[in-house]
A and B are shown apart, each in its own frame.
Chain A
Amino acid sequence: MPKPQLRSVDSAPISAPPAFSFQSVSRHFGEKSVLSNIDLTVPQGQFVAIIGKSGCGKSTLLRLLAGLDQPDGGQITRAPVQPGQSSIRIMFQEPRLLPWARVVDNVAVGLTGLASRSEAKARAHDLLEKVGLSDRDGEWPSVLSGGQRQRVALARALIGQPSVLALDEPLGALDALTRIEMQHLLSRIWQTQGFTAVLVTHDVAEAVILADRVIVLDAGKVALDLAIPLPRPRRHGHPDLAVYEQKILAQLFGEDGAQA
Protein backbone atom coordinates (compact mmCIF):
# COMPACT_ATOMS: atom_id res chain seq x y z
CA MET A 1 0.00 0.00 0.00
CA PRO A 2 1.74 3.21 -1.12
CA LYS A 3 2.03 5.84 1.59
CA PRO A 4 -0.25 8.81 0.96
CA GLN A 5 1.86 11.85 0.34
CA LEU A 6 0.96 15.47 -0.02
CA ARG A 7 1.60 16.77 -3.50
CA SER A 8 3.64 19.80 -4.23
CA VAL A 9 1.67 22.94 -4.97
CA ASP A 10 2.26 22.54 -8.67
CA SER A 11 0.58 19.90 -10.77
CA ALA A 12 2.06 16.44 -11.28
CA PRO A 13 5.49 16.48 -12.89
CA ILE A 14 5.38 16.31 -16.65
CA SER A 15 8.06 13.62 -16.57
CA ALA A 16 5.67 11.11 -14.88
CA PRO A 17 5.07 7.97 -16.98
CA PRO A 18 1.70 7.84 -18.73
CA ALA A 19 -1.27 6.45 -16.76
CA PHE A 20 -3.02 5.76 -20.03
CA SER A 21 -2.93 6.88 -23.60
CA PHE A 22 -5.34 6.93 -26.52
CA GLN A 23 -3.80 6.48 -29.98
CA SER A 24 -6.09 7.62 -32.80
CA VAL A 25 -9.11 6.10 -31.07
CA SER A 26 -12.42 6.16 -32.93
CA ARG A 27 -15.88 5.09 -31.94
CA HIS A 28 -19.04 5.30 -33.98
CA PHE A 29 -22.59 4.14 -33.40
CA GLY A 30 -24.00 3.17 -36.76
CA GLU A 31 -23.43 6.07 -39.16
CA LYS A 32 -22.81 8.55 -36.39
CA SER A 33 -19.18 9.12 -35.48
CA VAL A 34 -18.89 9.91 -31.77
CA LEU A 35 -15.12 10.01 -31.40
CA SER A 36 -12.71 10.35 -34.29
CA ASN A 37 -8.93 9.93 -34.05
CA ILE A 38 -8.52 10.92 -30.45
CA ASP A 39 -4.89 11.16 -29.33
CA LEU A 40 -4.51 11.74 -25.63
CA THR A 41 -1.78 10.87 -23.17
CA VAL A 42 -2.28 11.49 -19.48
CA PRO A 43 0.70 11.23 -17.11
CA GLN A 44 0.26 9.42 -13.79
CA GLY A 45 -1.18 11.56 -11.03
CA GLN A 46 -2.64 14.21 -13.28
CA PHE A 47 -6.15 15.58 -12.78
CA VAL A 48 -7.74 15.95 -16.21
CA ALA A 49 -11.16 17.43 -16.84
CA ILE A 50 -12.97 16.62 -20.05
CA ILE A 51 -15.59 19.14 -20.98
CA GLY A 52 -17.91 19.64 -23.89
CA LYS A 53 -21.51 20.09 -24.91
CA SER A 54 -24.02 17.24 -24.69
CA GLY A 55 -23.27 14.56 -27.24
CA CYS A 56 -19.65 15.61 -27.80
CA GLY A 57 -18.47 12.11 -26.90
CA LYS A 58 -17.08 12.81 -23.43
CA SER A 59 -18.99 10.02 -21.72
CA THR A 60 -18.10 7.61 -24.52
CA LEU A 61 -14.44 8.47 -24.02
CA LEU A 62 -14.77 7.66 -20.33
CA ARG A 63 -16.55 4.37 -21.01
CA LEU A 64 -13.78 3.40 -23.42
CA LEU A 65 -11.18 4.25 -20.81
CA ALA A 66 -13.02 2.18 -18.18
CA GLY A 67 -13.32 -0.77 -20.57
CA LEU A 68 -17.14 -0.64 -20.56
CA ASP A 69 -17.03 -0.12 -24.31
CA GLN A 70 -14.56 -1.05 -27.06
CA PRO A 71 -13.12 1.33 -29.66
CA ASP A 72 -13.81 0.77 -33.38
CA GLY A 73 -10.35 1.95 -34.29
CA GLY A 74 -7.08 2.89 -32.60
CA GLN A 75 -5.62 1.68 -29.38
CA ILE A 76 -5.89 2.39 -25.68
CA THR A 77 -2.95 1.49 -23.47
CA ARG A 78 -3.09 1.55 -19.71
CA ALA A 79 -0.19 1.40 -17.28
CA PRO A 80 0.14 -1.99 -15.55
CA VAL A 81 -1.00 -2.11 -11.91
CA GLN A 82 0.45 -3.71 -8.81
CA PRO A 83 -1.27 -6.79 -7.38
CA GLY A 84 -4.00 -5.91 -4.86
CA GLN A 85 -4.63 -2.64 -6.64
CA SER A 86 -7.47 -1.99 -9.07
CA SER A 87 -6.55 -0.46 -12.38
CA ILE A 88 -9.45 1.87 -13.05
CA ARG A 89 -12.59 2.77 -11.14
CA ILE A 90 -15.52 4.67 -12.51
CA MET A 91 -17.83 6.87 -10.51
CA PHE A 92 -21.18 7.49 -12.15
CA GLN A 93 -23.59 10.38 -12.05
CA GLU A 94 -25.88 8.21 -9.90
CA PRO A 95 -24.34 6.74 -6.75
CA ARG A 96 -25.40 3.20 -7.79
CA LEU A 97 -25.24 1.87 -4.24
CA LEU A 98 -26.77 -1.52 -3.48
CA PRO A 99 -29.92 -0.58 -1.53
CA TRP A 100 -29.83 -3.93 0.32
CA ALA A 101 -26.27 -3.57 1.58
CA ARG A 102 -25.28 -1.40 4.51
CA VAL A 103 -23.00 1.55 3.84
CA VAL A 104 -19.87 -0.29 4.97
CA ASP A 105 -20.68 -3.29 2.76
CA ASN A 106 -21.31 -1.01 -0.19
CA VAL A 107 -17.84 0.43 0.23
CA ALA A 108 -16.41 -3.08 0.58
CA VAL A 109 -17.80 -3.89 -2.90
CA GLY A 110 -14.83 -1.86 -4.14
CA LEU A 111 -12.50 -4.64 -2.95
CA THR A 112 -14.32 -7.47 -4.76
CA GLY A 113 -11.66 -10.01 -5.66
CA LEU A 114 -8.89 -7.87 -4.13
CA ALA A 115 -9.22 -8.61 -0.42
CA SER A 116 -11.01 -10.94 1.97
CA ARG A 117 -14.39 -9.88 3.30
CA SER A 118 -13.21 -9.06 6.81
CA GLU A 119 -10.22 -7.09 5.56
CA ALA A 120 -12.49 -5.27 3.11
CA LYS A 121 -14.79 -4.24 5.96
CA ALA A 122 -11.96 -2.87 8.06
CA ARG A 123 -10.58 -0.89 5.15
CA ALA A 124 -14.07 0.31 4.23
CA HIS A 125 -14.35 1.86 7.66
CA ASP A 126 -11.11 3.81 7.12
CA LEU A 127 -12.31 5.07 3.76
CA LEU A 128 -15.64 6.19 5.22
CA GLU A 129 -13.72 8.21 7.75
CA LYS A 130 -11.82 9.90 4.93
CA VAL A 131 -15.06 10.97 3.23
CA GLY A 132 -16.52 12.15 6.53
CA LEU A 133 -19.08 9.40 7.07
CA SER A 134 -17.38 7.33 9.78
CA ASP A 135 -20.51 7.27 11.96
CA ARG A 136 -22.85 6.11 9.18
CA ASP A 137 -21.30 2.77 8.26
CA GLY A 138 -24.19 0.69 9.64
CA GLU A 139 -26.91 2.65 7.80
CA TRP A 140 -28.93 1.64 4.76
CA PRO A 141 -28.27 3.84 1.72
CA SER A 142 -31.94 4.88 1.61
CA VAL A 143 -31.57 7.03 4.73
CA LEU A 144 -28.63 9.03 3.34
CA SER A 145 -28.91 12.30 1.47
CA GLY A 146 -27.84 12.60 -2.16
CA GLY A 147 -24.46 14.10 -1.26
CA GLN A 148 -23.80 11.43 1.36
CA ARG A 149 -24.62 8.68 -1.13
CA GLN A 150 -22.12 10.12 -3.60
CA ARG A 151 -19.52 10.20 -0.83
CA VAL A 152 -20.15 6.50 -0.19
CA ALA A 153 -19.76 5.89 -3.93
CA LEU A 154 -16.47 7.83 -3.84
CA ALA A 155 -15.23 5.73 -0.92
CA ARG A 156 -16.18 2.56 -2.83
CA ALA A 157 -14.30 3.77 -5.92
CA LEU A 158 -11.19 4.67 -3.91
CA ILE A 159 -10.92 1.65 -1.62
CA GLY A 160 -9.24 -0.45 -4.29
CA GLN A 161 -6.53 2.22 -4.60
CA PRO A 162 -7.17 2.65 -8.30
CA SER A 163 -4.43 4.01 -10.47
CA VAL A 164 -7.06 5.88 -12.46
CA LEU A 165 -10.34 7.27 -11.14
CA ALA A 166 -12.84 8.08 -13.87
CA LEU A 167 -15.64 10.42 -12.84
CA ASP A 168 -18.68 10.64 -15.09
CA GLU A 169 -20.37 13.88 -13.98
CA PRO A 170 -20.54 12.54 -10.43
CA LEU A 171 -21.63 15.87 -8.97
CA GLY A 172 -24.12 16.73 -11.70
CA ALA A 173 -27.19 15.70 -9.73
CA LEU A 174 -26.24 17.47 -6.50
CA ASP A 175 -27.43 20.88 -5.35
CA ALA A 176 -25.00 23.79 -5.71
CA LEU A 177 -23.78 23.90 -2.11
CA THR A 178 -23.32 20.14 -1.71
CA ARG A 179 -21.46 20.24 -4.98
CA ILE A 180 -18.90 22.78 -3.75
CA GLU A 181 -18.43 20.66 -0.62
CA MET A 182 -17.84 17.58 -2.77
CA GLN A 183 -15.37 19.45 -4.98
CA HIS A 184 -13.31 20.34 -1.92
CA LEU A 185 -13.45 16.75 -0.69
CA LEU A 186 -12.46 15.36 -4.08
CA SER A 187 -9.60 17.83 -4.41
CA ARG A 188 -8.31 17.03 -0.91
CA ILE A 189 -8.48 13.28 -1.43
CA TRP A 190 -6.81 13.50 -4.82
CA GLN A 191 -3.95 15.51 -3.31
CA THR A 192 -3.28 12.86 -0.67
CA GLN A 193 -3.89 9.65 -2.63
CA GLY A 194 -1.88 10.05 -5.78
CA PHE A 195 -4.26 8.58 -8.36
CA THR A 196 -4.88 9.88 -11.85
CA ALA A 197 -8.28 11.53 -12.09
CA VAL A 198 -10.36 11.93 -15.25
CA LEU A 199 -13.41 14.07 -14.66
CA VAL A 200 -16.12 14.39 -17.28
CA THR A 201 -18.23 17.45 -16.59
CA HIS A 202 -20.36 20.10 -18.25
CA ASP A 203 -19.51 22.64 -15.57
CA VAL A 204 -16.65 24.90 -16.66
CA ALA A 205 -16.11 26.34 -13.17
CA GLU A 206 -15.86 22.84 -11.74
CA ALA A 207 -13.32 21.80 -14.36
CA VAL A 208 -11.13 24.82 -13.71
CA ILE A 209 -11.20 24.57 -9.93
CA LEU A 210 -10.29 20.87 -9.88
CA ALA A 211 -8.12 20.06 -12.88
CA ASP A 212 -4.47 20.40 -13.86
CA ARG A 213 -5.52 20.19 -17.44
CA VAL A 214 -8.78 20.74 -19.30
CA ILE A 215 -9.60 18.97 -22.54
CA VAL A 216 -12.44 20.48 -24.56
CA LEU A 217 -14.13 17.97 -26.84
CA ASP A 218 -16.10 19.17 -29.81
CA ALA A 219 -17.75 16.91 -32.39
CA GLY A 220 -15.63 13.95 -31.35
CA LYS A 221 -12.29 15.76 -31.56
CA VAL A 222 -9.99 17.42 -29.05
CA ALA A 223 -10.70 21.11 -29.65
CA LEU A 224 -8.59 22.50 -26.81
CA ASP A 225 -5.95 21.08 -24.47
CA LEU A 226 -5.38 23.65 -21.75
CA ALA A 227 -3.04 23.40 -18.75
CA ILE A 228 -4.23 25.09 -15.55
CA PRO A 229 -1.02 25.62 -13.53
CA LEU A 230 -2.72 27.39 -10.62
CA PRO A 231 -1.75 26.68 -7.00
CA ARG A 232 -4.09 24.71 -4.72
CA PRO A 233 -6.33 25.00 -2.81
CA ARG A 234 -8.21 27.08 -5.35
CA ARG A 235 -11.06 29.31 -4.34
CA HIS A 236 -14.33 29.75 -6.20
CA GLY A 237 -14.57 33.20 -7.79
CA HIS A 238 -10.82 33.85 -7.89
CA PRO A 239 -9.94 36.15 -10.84
CA ASP A 240 -7.19 33.77 -12.10
CA LEU A 241 -9.80 31.03 -12.49
CA ALA A 242 -12.04 33.40 -14.42
CA VAL A 243 -9.33 33.87 -17.07
CA TYR A 244 -9.24 30.13 -17.76
CA GLU A 245 -13.03 29.86 -17.65
CA GLN A 246 -13.22 32.57 -20.32
CA LYS A 247 -10.77 30.70 -22.54
CA ILE A 248 -12.79 27.50 -22.29
CA LEU A 249 -16.13 29.22 -22.82
CA ALA A 250 -14.69 31.00 -25.85
CA GLN A 251 -13.71 27.64 -27.29
CA LEU A 252 -17.13 26.15 -26.57
CA PHE A 253 -19.31 28.99 -27.81
CA GLY A 254 -17.01 31.18 -29.92
CA GLU A 255 -15.76 34.63 -28.84
CA ASP A 256 -19.25 36.14 -28.84
CA GLY A 257 -20.63 33.60 -26.43
CA ALA A 258 -17.78 34.21 -24.03
CA GLN A 259 -18.35 37.95 -24.08
CA ALA A 260 -22.07 37.68 -23.43
Chain B
Amino acid sequence: MTALQARFGAAIGWLLPVVILLIWEALSRAGIITENVLPAPTEVFAAFLRVLKSGDLARNIGVSAWRALTGLAIGGSIGFALGLANGLSLLSRNLTDTTLQMVRNIPHLALIPLVILWFGIDEGAKLFLVALGVFFPIYVNTLLGIQTVDPQLIEMGRTYGMDRRALFLRVILPGALPSIFVGLRYALGIMWLTLIVAETISASSGLGYMAMQAREFLMIDVVVLSILIYALLGKLADSFVRVLERLCLQWHPAFQKTAQQPART
Protein backbone atom coordinates (compact mmCIF):
# COMPACT_ATOMS: atom_id res chain seq x y z
CA MET B 1 0.00 0.00 0.00
CA THR B 2 1.49 3.35 -1.02
CA ALA B 3 1.49 6.40 1.23
CA LEU B 4 -1.00 8.13 -1.05
CA GLN B 5 -3.40 5.22 -0.88
CA ALA B 6 -3.03 5.07 2.89
CA ARG B 7 -3.86 8.75 3.19
CA PHE B 8 -6.83 8.33 0.89
CA GLY B 9 -8.00 5.35 2.93
CA ALA B 10 -7.97 7.43 6.11
CA ALA B 11 -9.68 10.38 4.42
CA ILE B 12 -12.47 8.32 2.90
CA GLY B 13 -14.09 7.95 6.33
CA TRP B 14 -14.85 11.66 6.26
CA LEU B 15 -16.62 11.44 2.91
CA LEU B 16 -19.95 10.32 4.37
CA PRO B 17 -20.21 13.07 7.04
CA VAL B 18 -19.45 15.70 4.37
CA VAL B 19 -22.12 14.29 2.05
CA ILE B 20 -24.65 14.27 4.88
CA LEU B 21 -23.81 17.92 5.65
CA LEU B 22 -24.31 18.87 1.99
CA ILE B 23 -27.68 17.10 1.77
CA TRP B 24 -28.72 18.68 5.06
CA GLU B 25 -27.79 22.14 3.77
CA ALA B 26 -29.67 21.54 0.49
CA LEU B 27 -32.79 20.33 2.30
CA SER B 28 -32.72 23.38 4.61
CA ARG B 29 -32.35 25.80 1.72
CA ALA B 30 -35.20 24.11 -0.12
CA GLY B 31 -37.35 24.66 2.95
CA ILE B 32 -37.99 20.95 3.49
CA ILE B 33 -36.32 21.10 6.93
CA THR B 34 -37.65 24.17 8.72
CA GLU B 35 -35.38 26.31 10.85
CA ASN B 36 -37.17 25.65 14.13
CA VAL B 37 -36.63 21.90 13.72
CA LEU B 38 -33.04 21.86 12.48
CA PRO B 39 -31.06 24.94 11.38
CA ALA B 40 -28.90 24.68 8.26
CA PRO B 41 -25.20 23.77 8.69
CA THR B 42 -24.22 27.27 7.63
CA GLU B 43 -26.31 28.68 10.47
CA VAL B 44 -24.76 26.27 12.90
CA PHE B 45 -21.39 27.41 11.63
CA ALA B 46 -22.45 31.03 12.15
CA ALA B 47 -23.42 30.11 15.72
CA PHE B 48 -20.03 28.47 16.08
CA LEU B 49 -18.27 31.70 15.06
CA ARG B 50 -20.49 33.66 17.43
CA VAL B 51 -19.78 31.58 20.53
CA LEU B 52 -16.15 31.31 19.50
CA LYS B 53 -15.82 35.08 19.40
CA SER B 54 -17.61 35.59 22.69
CA GLY B 55 -15.23 33.14 24.34
CA ASP B 56 -18.12 30.99 25.61
CA LEU B 57 -17.13 28.03 23.47
CA ALA B 58 -13.52 27.84 24.56
CA ARG B 59 -14.46 28.25 28.20
CA ASN B 60 -17.18 25.61 28.13
CA ILE B 61 -15.11 23.09 26.15
CA GLY B 62 -12.28 23.72 28.59
CA VAL B 63 -14.51 23.09 31.59
CA SER B 64 -16.04 19.95 30.08
CA ALA B 65 -12.68 18.56 28.97
CA TRP B 66 -11.22 19.18 32.43
CA ARG B 67 -14.13 17.34 34.06
CA ALA B 68 -13.91 14.47 31.59
CA LEU B 69 -10.17 13.97 31.93
CA THR B 70 -10.07 14.43 35.69
CA GLY B 71 -12.92 11.96 36.13
CA LEU B 72 -11.16 9.54 33.78
CA ALA B 73 -7.88 9.91 35.64
CA ILE B 74 -9.50 9.26 39.03
CA GLY B 75 -11.87 6.45 38.04
CA GLY B 76 -9.47 4.95 35.53
CA SER B 77 -6.52 4.75 37.90
CA ILE B 78 -8.61 3.22 40.69
CA GLY B 79 -10.07 0.71 38.22
CA PHE B 80 -6.64 -0.10 36.84
CA ALA B 81 -5.11 -0.50 40.29
CA LEU B 82 -7.93 -2.76 41.50
CA GLY B 83 -7.85 -4.73 38.25
CA LEU B 84 -4.13 -5.32 38.76
CA ALA B 85 -4.53 -6.20 42.43
CA ASN B 86 -7.38 -8.62 41.78
CA GLY B 87 -5.64 -10.14 38.78
CA LEU B 88 -2.45 -10.78 40.72
CA SER B 89 -3.74 -11.63 44.19
CA LEU B 90 -6.37 -14.21 44.90
CA LEU B 91 -6.90 -12.78 48.39
CA SER B 92 -7.65 -9.34 47.00
CA ARG B 93 -10.01 -10.82 44.41
CA ASN B 94 -11.91 -12.90 46.94
CA LEU B 95 -12.17 -9.88 49.18
CA THR B 96 -13.45 -7.28 46.71
CA ASP B 97 -14.72 -8.84 43.49
CA THR B 98 -18.19 -9.81 44.73
CA THR B 99 -18.83 -6.28 46.02
CA LEU B 100 -17.55 -4.71 42.82
CA GLN B 101 -19.72 -6.95 40.66
CA MET B 102 -22.78 -5.96 42.68
CA VAL B 103 -22.02 -2.26 42.37
CA ARG B 104 -21.33 -2.74 38.67
CA ASN B 105 -24.90 -3.79 38.05
CA ILE B 106 -26.29 -0.47 39.26
CA PRO B 107 -26.61 1.92 36.31
CA HIS B 108 -24.42 4.76 37.51
CA LEU B 109 -26.72 7.40 36.05
CA ALA B 110 -29.45 6.12 38.40
CA LEU B 111 -27.37 7.64 41.19
CA ILE B 112 -27.84 11.19 39.87
CA PRO B 113 -30.54 12.18 42.39
CA LEU B 114 -28.43 10.84 45.24
CA VAL B 115 -25.28 12.46 43.88
CA ILE B 116 -27.03 15.82 43.63
CA LEU B 117 -28.10 15.45 47.26
CA TRP B 118 -24.55 14.65 48.27
CA PHE B 119 -22.56 17.09 46.17
CA GLY B 120 -25.13 19.66 45.01
CA ILE B 121 -24.35 20.77 41.47
CA ASP B 122 -20.69 21.29 42.26
CA GLU B 123 -17.74 19.87 40.35
CA GLY B 124 -17.70 16.96 42.78
CA ALA B 125 -20.95 15.55 41.43
CA LYS B 126 -19.73 15.48 37.84
CA LEU B 127 -16.32 14.07 38.74
CA PHE B 128 -17.89 11.39 40.92
CA LEU B 129 -20.25 10.25 38.16
CA VAL B 130 -17.58 10.23 35.45
CA ALA B 131 -15.11 8.42 37.70
CA LEU B 132 -17.73 5.82 38.62
CA GLY B 133 -18.69 5.38 34.97
CA VAL B 134 -15.16 4.82 33.67
CA PHE B 135 -14.10 2.69 36.63
CA PHE B 136 -15.88 -0.50 35.61
CA PRO B 137 -14.85 -0.96 31.98
CA ILE B 138 -11.23 -0.37 32.97
CA TYR B 139 -11.42 -2.60 36.05
CA VAL B 140 -13.16 -5.47 34.25
CA ASN B 141 -10.87 -5.43 31.22
CA THR B 142 -7.65 -5.06 33.22
CA LEU B 143 -8.67 -8.03 35.35
CA LEU B 144 -9.67 -10.04 32.29
CA GLY B 145 -6.42 -9.16 30.53
CA ILE B 146 -4.31 -10.38 33.43
CA GLN B 147 -6.34 -13.53 33.89
CA THR B 148 -6.00 -14.47 30.23
CA VAL B 149 -2.22 -14.05 29.96
CA ASP B 150 -0.88 -17.32 28.55
CA PRO B 151 0.14 -19.46 31.57
CA GLN B 152 2.76 -21.14 29.38
CA LEU B 153 4.53 -17.80 29.00
CA ILE B 154 4.43 -17.28 32.76
CA GLU B 155 5.94 -20.72 33.29
CA MET B 156 8.57 -19.87 30.69
CA GLY B 157 9.40 -16.64 32.55
CA ARG B 158 9.76 -18.56 35.81
CA THR B 159 12.06 -21.19 34.32
CA TYR B 160 14.26 -18.37 33.03
CA GLY B 161 14.59 -17.01 36.54
CA MET B 162 12.41 -13.89 36.26
CA ASP B 163 11.51 -12.51 39.67
CA ARG B 164 7.97 -11.25 40.41
CA ARG B 165 8.78 -7.76 39.23
CA ALA B 166 10.32 -8.87 35.94
CA LEU B 167 7.51 -11.35 35.39
CA PHE B 168 4.96 -8.58 35.84
CA LEU B 169 6.72 -5.99 33.68
CA ARG B 170 7.87 -8.29 30.88
CA VAL B 171 5.14 -10.93 30.69
CA ILE B 172 1.93 -10.11 32.54
CA LEU B 173 1.46 -6.39 31.84
CA PRO B 174 2.29 -6.52 28.11
CA GLY B 175 0.04 -9.56 27.79
CA ALA B 176 -2.84 -7.73 29.44
CA LEU B 177 -2.35 -4.52 27.46
CA PRO B 178 -4.63 -5.27 24.46
CA SER B 179 -7.49 -5.95 26.85
CA ILE B 180 -6.70 -2.84 28.90
CA PHE B 181 -6.96 -0.74 25.73
CA VAL B 182 -10.37 -2.24 24.98
CA GLY B 183 -11.40 -1.13 28.46
CA LEU B 184 -10.03 2.35 27.90
CA ARG B 185 -11.98 2.79 24.68
CA TYR B 186 -15.20 1.68 26.35
CA ALA B 187 -14.43 4.02 29.22
CA LEU B 188 -14.02 7.02 26.91
CA GLY B 189 -17.48 6.43 25.45
CA ILE B 190 -18.99 6.22 28.92
CA MET B 191 -16.98 9.26 30.00
CA TRP B 192 -18.63 11.55 27.43
CA LEU B 193 -22.06 10.01 27.92
CA THR B 194 -21.94 10.51 31.67
CA LEU B 195 -20.66 14.04 31.38
CA ILE B 196 -23.37 15.09 28.90
CA VAL B 197 -26.10 13.74 31.13
CA ALA B 198 -24.63 15.24 34.28
CA GLU B 199 -24.07 18.65 32.69
CA THR B 200 -27.50 18.68 31.14
CA ILE B 201 -29.20 17.97 34.44
CA SER B 202 -27.21 20.12 36.78
CA ALA B 203 -24.42 22.49 35.88
CA SER B 204 -23.52 26.14 35.63
CA SER B 205 -20.84 25.71 32.98
CA GLY B 206 -19.68 23.22 30.38
CA LEU B 207 -20.94 22.07 27.01
CA GLY B 208 -24.07 20.43 28.39
CA TYR B 209 -24.91 23.62 30.26
CA MET B 210 -24.34 25.65 27.08
CA ALA B 211 -26.82 23.43 25.22
CA MET B 212 -29.45 23.61 27.98
CA GLN B 213 -29.16 27.36 28.26
CA ALA B 214 -29.50 27.73 24.48
CA ARG B 215 -32.64 25.60 24.64
CA GLU B 216 -34.19 27.95 27.15
CA PHE B 217 -33.59 30.87 24.76
CA LEU B 218 -34.69 28.76 21.78
CA MET B 219 -31.25 29.10 20.17
CA ILE B 220 -31.54 25.80 18.36
CA ASP B 221 -28.38 26.47 16.32
CA VAL B 222 -26.26 26.45 19.51
CA VAL B 223 -27.99 23.26 20.69
CA VAL B 224 -27.07 21.53 17.43
CA LEU B 225 -23.55 22.95 17.64
CA SER B 226 -23.09 21.48 21.13
CA ILE B 227 -24.19 18.08 19.92
CA LEU B 228 -21.78 18.23 16.98
CA ILE B 229 -18.93 19.22 19.29
CA TYR B 230 -19.66 16.23 21.50
CA ALA B 231 -19.44 14.01 18.43
CA LEU B 232 -16.10 15.56 17.46
CA LEU B 233 -14.66 15.29 20.97
CA GLY B 234 -15.71 11.66 21.17
CA LYS B 235 -14.05 10.93 17.86
CA LEU B 236 -10.93 12.81 18.96
CA ALA B 237 -10.63 10.76 22.14
CA ASP B 238 -11.11 7.52 20.22
CA SER B 239 -8.47 8.50 17.65
CA PHE B 240 -6.04 9.33 20.43
CA VAL B 241 -6.43 5.85 21.91
CA ARG B 242 -6.01 4.30 18.47
CA VAL B 243 -2.69 6.10 18.04
CA LEU B 244 -1.65 4.96 21.52
CA GLU B 245 -2.67 1.39 20.67
CA ARG B 246 -0.67 1.44 17.46
CA LEU B 247 2.38 2.62 19.40
CA CYS B 248 2.08 0.15 22.27
CA LEU B 249 0.82 -2.88 20.37
CA GLN B 250 3.15 -2.86 17.39
CA TRP B 251 3.88 -6.49 18.04
CA HIS B 252 0.25 -7.50 17.66
CA PRO B 253 -0.53 -9.03 14.25
CA ALA B 254 -3.71 -6.90 14.09
CA PHE B 255 -1.62 -3.73 14.11
CA GLN B 256 1.02 -4.81 11.62
CA LYS B 257 1.02 -3.68 8.03
CA THR B 258 -0.53 -6.11 5.57
CA ALA B 259 2.82 -6.44 3.80
CA GLN B 260 4.17 -8.29 6.85
CA GLN B 261 2.01 -11.38 6.71
CA PRO B 262 3.55 -14.30 8.63
CA ALA B 263 6.00 -16.09 6.39
CA ARG B 264 5.29 -19.77 6.03
CA THR B 265 8.18 -22.00 5.15
Residues of A within 8 A of B (CB): 66, 68, 86, 89-90, 92, 94, 96, 98-102, 109-110, 112-114, 140-145, 147-148, 156, 178
* Contact among B153, B155, B265 with A148 in the assembled complex (CB-CB below 8 Å): B265
Q: Do A112 and B162 touch across chains, with their CB atoms under 8 A apart? A: yes
Tell me the count of chain B residues lying within 8 A, CB to CB, of chain A: 28
Q: Do A94 and B170 touch across chains, with their CB atoms under 8 A apart? A: no
Q: Do B170 and A145 touch across chains, with their CB atoms under 8 A apart? A: no
Q: Do B251 and A110 touch across chains, with their CB atoms under 8 A apart? A: no
Q: Do A143 and B260 touch across chains, with their CB atoms under 8 A apart? A: yes
Residues of B within 8 A of A (CB): 152-153, 155-157, 159-163, 166, 170-171, 174-175, 177, 249-253, 256, 260-265
* Contact among A99, A147, A156 with B251 in the assembled complex (CB-CB below 8 Å): A99
A/B interface sample: 15 pairs, CB < 8 A: A66-B159, A68-B159, A92-B156, A96-B155, A96-B156, A98-B171, A98-B174, A100-B251, A102-B251, A112-B162, A140-B251, A140-B256, A142-B262, A143-B256, A148-B265
Closest to A68 in B: B159
Q: Do B160 and A112 touch across chains, with their CB atoms under 8 A apart? A: yes
Closest to B253 in A: A142
Report the Cα distance A145→B177, complex, angstroms. Answer: 25
Chain A hits for B166, CB < 8 A = 112
Minimal beta-carbon separation of B27 from chain A (angstroms):
49
* Contact among A90, A94, A99, A147 with B159 in the assembled complex (CB-CB below 8 Å): A90
* Contact among B152, B157, B171, B262 with A144 in the assembled complex (CB-CB below 8 Å): B262
Chain A hits for B155, CB < 8 A = 68, 96
Q: Do A142 and B256 touch across chains, with their CB atoms under 8 A apart? A: yes
Closest 5 CB pairs of A and B: A100-B174, A96-B156, A100-B251, A145-B265, A140-B251
Report the Cα distance A148→B162, complex, angstroms. Answer: 24
Q: Do B152 and A92 touch across chains, with their CB atoms under 8 A apart? A: yes
Interface of A, secondary structure class, is loop
The count of A-to-B residue pairs whose CB atoms sit within 8 angstroms is 68
Chain A hits for B153, CB < 8 A = 96, 98
Q: Do A96 and B152 touch across chains, with their CB atoms under 8 A apart? A: yes
Q: Do A101 and B256 touch across chains, with their CB atoms under 8 A apart? A: no
Q: Do A110 and B160 touch across chains, with their CB atoms under 8 A apart? A: yes
Q: Do A94 and B152 touch across chains, with their CB atoms under 8 A apart? A: yes
Q: Do A113 and B161 touch across chains, with their CB atoms under 8 A apart? A: yes
Chain B hits for A144, CB < 8 A = 262-263
Minimal beta-carbon separation of B228 from chain A (angstroms):
39
Closest to B152 in A: A96
Closest to A148 in B: B265
Chain B hits for A143, CB < 8 A = 256, 260-263
Minimal beta-carbon separation of A242 from chain B (angstroms):
29
Report the Cα distance A102→B251, complex, angstroms. Answer: 8
Instruction: Identify the interface centre among A66, A98, A102, A148: most chain B CB within 10 Å of its CB.
Output: A98
Report the Cα distance A92→B175, complex, angstroms. Answer: 20
Report the Cα distance A114→B170, complex, angstroms. Answer: 16
| Further 9 A-B residue pairs, CB within 8 A, beyond A92-B152, A101-B170 | A66-B159, A90-B159, A98-B170, A100-B252, A113-B161, A142-B256, A143-B260, A143-B262, A144-B263
